[in-house]
Amino acid sequence: MTPETTAQSLLSQPTAALAWQGDTRPMISRIGVVMLDGALCTLVSDLSPHTDAMRAHPGVSLLVGDHAQKGDPLNHPRLSLEATARFVDKIAARDRYLAARPKTKLYYDFADFHLVQFDVQAVFLNGGFGKAHHLDWETII
């Protein structure tokens, strides 16, 4: 597998770890993610502290990888992304998001839920021991 195909495979994972700026220090949340039109997106609730934090400080990082794999976790590939969180129109993306994640139909239309798109500026693939690569987002989407 090339680094690009490994990164593409990782982007099909249903979750990511989101690092965001808390009140006094960085915080991390596990979020559901989906690729829509070449952009990584998530659905967030006003009840979650990372929602207000991303409005105040949109610079975030994400870590995508299969955290449930067996064996040495340092040998499993993971993808680190530096991005800017941008709140986008969830109505326009509704059908595509629900096609990708049908179970979100239970809460997608709740007024306190918002669609966030991550505009990626930097990509780093750690493909396992001795397999580190800086990649261009445009080459993997």
- Map out the domains of the chain as residue ranges: 3-140
The pLDDT of residue 68: 66
Nearest-angstrom CA–CA distance, 62 and 122:
11
Homologous superfamily in CATH for domain 3-140: Electron Transport, Fmn-binding Protein; Chain A (2.30.110.10)
Residues of the chain with pLDDT under 70: 67-69
Question: What is the predicted pLDDT for the residue at 76?
Answer: 86
What pLDDT score was predicted for residue 127?
86
Query: pTM of the prediction?
Result: 0.94
- Give per-residue pLDDT as tens, 92-103: 999 999 999 999
**Is residue 36 packed enough to be buried (19+ CB in 10 Å), middle (13-18) or exposed (0-12)?**
middle
The widest CA-to-CA distance across the chain, in whole angstroms, is 46
In Å, how far from its chain's centre is CA 107? Answer: 19
On the 0-12 / 13-18 / 19+ scale of CB atoms within 10 A, 87 is middle
Q: How many CB atoms lie within 10 A of CB 116?
A: 25
In the structure encoding, which two tokens stand for residue 114, read together? 């918002």
State CA 110 to chain mean position distance.
21
